[in-house]
Structure 1
């Protein structure tokens, strides 16, 4: 089942279950996807965005909510932090399983080998390869420094 269909099915189920918080989060997800669809149509892509871009949107939404929850906790607003964390749980249902550190290391090695990267100048090629294969499965902000270390060694 395509990602959009899974999200819409979950939205309908949340309506039936009268799960207000879950429904709200699912509507936010749909709104973000539709917003990117509109932008994509403006760029000439009539079909809107694909699964890979939907995964990127969901990853960005998770990261935003984690940062907000951290900020709320620092400000002593635990009620708001809990709400953000609950939204993260709902959004993560639609993301693929995150890779472990060992799996990330193996993916880095494979990407470096596949691109023939030998220096720090090839970092963009390696990151492109990883994003193409592992969108939604790893945090590229954390992987970037690992790639840099591997290529500069």
Structure 2
């Protein structure tokens, strides 16, 4: 079963269970995937669907930050609940130790010696661990490693 089919199935199950948040999130996700499919003029692969899910999670994360700054706790809580549903479709994230080891490996593999090489390291990391690492946290680790 493809990821898109699983999302469709989960949406139907959530609808029957009257789970409003999950239904709303999955409908938005299906729409985002459909929009991406129209852009590419072809059906999406599971990897491309994962990119759509990751983009949706990132949007929710940014919304939570904005709502917290504005003092809108109830809206931030809803966005966090939506984010939990979306994260269920992403592969398991690397632990902090595994991420640090991956950074060390990528630095050694690319021969990076200074901040000029940060792009090479990030590209290698993102390609190898697509969808399993947070770009912001990884960037900070790579920057710290290359600065020392």
TM over 0.5: yes
> If the length of structure 2 is used for normalisation, what is the TM-score?
0.86
Report which stretch shifted further, 19-28 or 56-65: 56-65
How far, CA to CA, are the matches of 1:133 and 1:51 in structure 2?
16
Partner of 1:22: 22
Give the equivalent residue in structure 1 for 2:69: 74
Q: Per the alignment, in what secondary structure is the counterpart of residue 117 of structure 2?
A: helix
User: Which of 108-117 and 87-96 deviates more?
Assistant: 108-117
User: Runs ≥4 in structure 1, deviation > 4 angstroms?
Assistant: none
The unaligned stretches of length 5 or more in structure 1 are: none
| Residue in structure 1 matched with residue 133 of structure 2 by the alignment | 138
**Deviation by residue 1:48-95 (Cα, 9 ceiling, x = unmatched):** 3x3333223222222221221232233232221221111111101111
Contact 1:108/1:130, CA 8 A, preserved across alignment: yes
Superposed displacement of residue 127, structure 1: 1.3
* CA deviation vs aligned residue, 1:81-139 (integer Å, no higher than 9, x gap): 22111111110111112211111001111222333333333222221121112122211
Give ranges in structure 2 of 5+ residues lacking alignment.
none
Q: So what's the TM-score if we normalise by structure 1?
A: 0.84
CA shift digits 1:20-60 (9 cap, x unpaired) = 2211100111111111111122xxxx343x33332232222
Looking at structure 2, the residues matched to 120 and 76 of structure 1 have their Cα atoms a distance apart, in angstroms, of: 38
Equivalent residue number for residue 100 of structure 1: 95
User: Is the CA contact (8 Å cut-off) linking 1:118 and 1:151 kept in structure 2?
Assistant: yes
For the 8 Å contact 1:55–1:135, the answer to whether it is kept is no
Please list, as runs of the form range in 1=range in 2, the aligned pairs for 1:3-152 lying within 5 A after superposition: 3-41=3-41, 46-48=42-44, 50-152=45-147
